[in-house]
Structure 1
Amino acid sequence: MGETQIEHRAVFTEAMVRDAVRTFVWRRVVAQQKGLWLAAAAMLAYLLFLLSRGGRGWLVGALAVAVALPPLILAVTWHLHSRNSLGRLRAMPAPRALFTFGEDGMAVESGLGAARLEWSAFQEVWERSGYWMLFIGPAQFMTLPLGDLAPAELQWLRERLRAAR
């Protein structure tokens, strides 16, 4: 890694991981998919109208399935991300990791293994209270507990991440 190097010993908590999953699901599946939810609400209203008029045909069935899809997508996304994220946390011998930040990227080492990523690998960063969510894909993120990182170190990290995008 480059000249400047910051080492950060991070501790993960179950509450942090649960909050990260909840944040991801809310932003990606609900907030960023407003059109889907509006369409589902409109179809639900039409479905209820048809049912109130005695509708029982194929259109009623198709609308019922279409109305059920967004909540099903939400539930499946929540379940899969919770299971995967909490599963990784629980599989760690200790809920700790060593992050090493350098000019050209970041390395992370935990009881589950080690990885190195260049800053350009991060597509998006969501800053949360106590941790950041670093996205390497639309639905793939890593949680960075902030712990005792100093404000100057956080600013340095923001600059590296911003410059790479």
Structure 2
Amino acid sequence: MEHQAKLQYDASLLREALFGFWWRAITGRLLLALVVCIASFAYFWANGDRSWIVGAFGALLLFSVGMIVAVYFVHSANMNRKLKDMGTPEAIFTASETSFSVVSGAGSSTIPWSSITDVWKLERCWLLLFSKAQFITVPLADVPEEMRAFILQRISAAGGKVDG
């Protein structure tokens, strides 16, 4: 069985996808580590400690915040470049039993379902993750319910995790 949908992309959808990815990537252990670092820095600073430990916490804090901001802007630039490379902001998404294909003005790819490690469900789109830093955005407005269920079933059957 094969399903096909014509996906339409726009800047607001991609901003939602980017923010959803960024937020989920920084929450959890990274956010907890950042809070511990901030609390430690504030504790030492408030108690008048100006030793190398305070400097180390301060440097770690600056580096961490810089990395969090950089992740957002790197992915933003990458998304904008890919959108521009597409020409017309649309793609044909074809889902079969063993793989899915994406064809756009930027090129085409056929990818086995086993390459998808996670599906992150957002309000208007899904993020199909290949790794912690690579994903494809699937706008839901263009994907019929039957095709959505098929995609999730194929990803789950191949060992991918589906949130929600």
Q: Tell me the C-alpha RMSD between the 2 structures.
A: 1.6
Aligned match for 1:101, one of 95, 99, 114: 95
SS in 2 for 1:159: helix
Matched to 1:130, the amino acid is: R
**Structure 2 CA distance, aligned partners of 1:144 and 1:133?**
6
Matched to 2:32, the amino acid is: G
2:9 aligned residue: 12
Identity within the alignment, %: 27
TM-score computed with the length of structure 2 as normaliser:
0.89
Matched to 2:151, the amino acid is: L
Query: Could you say if the C-alpha distance between residues 105 and 131 of structure 1 is closer, same or farther in structure 2, counting changes exceeding 3 Å?
Result: same
Following TM superposition, by how much is the alpha carbon of 1:23 offset from its aligned partner in structure 2, in angstroms? Answer: 1.1
Cα deviation digits, residues 118-161 of structure 1 (max 9, x gap): 11010000111221100011111010112232222211111111
| Larger CA deviation: 93-102 vs 65-74 | 65-74
- Once the two structures are superposed, the pairs formed by residues 141-160 of structure 1 within 5 Å of their partners are 141-160=135-154
Aligned match for 1:127, one of 102, 117, 121: 121
Say how many residue pairs are matched.
159
Matched to 1:102, the amino acid is: S
Unaligned 5+ segments in structure 2 are: 160-164
Unaligned 5+ segments in structure 1 are: none
Following TM superposition, by how much is the alpha carbon of 1:32 offset from its aligned partner in structure 2, in angstroms? Answer: 4.3
Following TM superposition, by how much is the alpha carbon of 1:69 offset from its aligned partner in structure 2, in angstroms? Answer: 2.2
Matched to 2:113, the amino acid is: W
Matched to 2:9, the amino acid is: F
